Amino acid sequence: MSQVRRVVVDTDTGIDDAHTLLYLAGRPDAEIVALTSVYGNCVEEDSTRNIGYVTRLLGLDVPIARGAAAPLKGDPRIAGHVHGGDGLGDRGYDRPLPEVTGETGAELLVRLAAERPGELDLLALGPLTNLALALRIDPELFTRYRSVVLMGGSGPYAEPGTLLMIDANVNNDPEAARAVFSAPRNELVMVGVNVTGGTILGEHAIAALGAAGTPRSRFASEILEAYLDFYQNEWGRRIIPLHDPLAAGILLDPSFATGWVDGPVNVVTDGFLSRARLMRTVNGLPPAFPYHPAPDTRVITQVDAARFVADFVEVLTQ
């Protein structure tokens, strides 16, 4: 068995976040050591309630802290049209608020890193507001984590004429994302929509989740309906991308990433959307405009999607 990764998860607990927690809990080389909530897929209170529901399902007793309910500036964008009003597809689950530490999410991120420097990995699955607030407390925070892996960003500039899915986690709080990508770090890995959007859970895999019959697989299958309702409008098929689970997979097994570029990431806007971009074109050249220097981020550009999807299904159905 490979070395166990002890993971702190910052999550806006929607459907693929819940799948990610199931995946982490099922991997023998992962230990979830704490969870922090943030708005995004649902409001922050629902995110916390969903953390409580999933941890009870898993029999997991770890510190939970409530995090940011809104971005650093402006009002939150809530993706209820994707994840259902409650974040878990409106299945009617009993979701009482779990016991929390009394700290903010940012305070818990800082405390754990100070108590266990170099031991923990931070996995960020939602808007980066908690991480930015934590950096205000400790600007060297990311140097105290073994690694920081985030689901967000859009990779390098794409081939001309190519369109990408919305980079929702960055678009929900671009100011927080700027703080994250400019902060000192040991290792910061960006798993963006350029690779998650093509990592597809297809019809056969979805059927396998439903047929497995374990409490975890049944839950994973049940909450998919709202997600499938949304993504069928993208491809005309009831299939989904594994956004957040892929980030967890790469944290645990970097060989799922088959291509990457280390370089500066900036948050840029076209006036409508904000995206985190590696400041390189598809040909590896700098963009045709000035950009802000930043420490290198490992930007994932290619993945072994088939191998990851097979591992994800195996873990959730075992």
Over residues 199-216, the pLDDT tens digits come to 999 999 999 999 998 999
Tell me the C-alpha distance between 184 and 249, whole Å: 24
pLDDT tens per residue, range 144-180: 999 999 999 999 999 999 888 999 999 999 999 999 9
Tell me the residue range of the domain where 65 lies. Answer: 5-317
253 catalytic? Reply is: no
Strand-pairing partners, residue 267, are: 276
Tell me the C-alpha distance between 38 and 135, whole Å: 16
CATH number at residue 169: 3.90.245.10
Which residues fall within 8 angstroms of residue 137, CB to CB, at 6 or more apart?
Answer: 106, 107, 110
DSSP one-letter string for 137-193: H-TTHHHHSSEEEEE----BPPPTT------HHHHH-HHHHHHHHHS--S-EEEE-H
Q: Which of 12, 16, 46, 173 is catalytic?
A: 12
pLDDT tens per residue, range 102-133: 999 999 999 999 999 999 999 999 999 999 99
Residue 31 structure tokens: 């230990």
Phi-psi category of 297—alpha, beta or left, where left has phi over 0 and alpha has psi -120 to 50?
Answer: beta
Three-state SS for 267?
strand
Residue type at 265 in one-letter notation: V
Three-state SS for 47?
helix
Looking at residue 80, what DSSP letter applies?
A: H
Q: How far is CA 64 from the centre of its chain?
A: 17
If one counts the domains in the chain, the total is 1
83 catalytic? Reply is: no
H/E segment holding residue 21: helix 15-26
The per-residue pLDDT string of the chain (318 residues; one tens digit each, 9 = 90 and over) reads 458 999 999 999 999 999 999 999 999 999 999 999 999 999 999 999 999 999 999 999 999 999 999 999 999 999 999 999 999 999 999 999 999 999 999 999 999 999 999 999 999 999 999 999 999 999 999 999 999 999 999 999 999 998 889 999 999 999 999 999 999 999 999 999 999 999 999 999 999 999 998 999 999 999 999 999 999 998 999 999 999 999 999 999 999 999 999 999 999 999 999 999 999 999 999 999 999 999 999 999 999 999 999 999 999 999
- The structure's pTM equals 0.97
Q: Backbone phi, then psi, for 40, in 5-degree steps? A: 150, -85
Residue whose tokens read 């690694």: 147
Q: Are 184 and 196 in contact (CB under 8 A)?
A: no
Three-state SS for 248?
helix
Q: Which of 16, 83, 86, 243 is catalytic?
A: 243
Tell me the C-alpha distance between 153 and 189, whole Å: 10
Whole-number pLDDT of residue 301: 97
Looking at residue 92, what DSSP letter applies?
A: -
Q: How far is CA 166 from the centre of its chain?
A: 14
Burial 151-164 (b: 16+ CB within 10 A, else e): bbbbbbbeeeeeee
Residue whose tokens read 């999933």: 54
Whole-number pLDDT of residue 1: 41
Tell me the C-alpha distance between 250 and 177, whole Å: 20
Number of CB atoms found within 10 A of residue 97's CB = 12
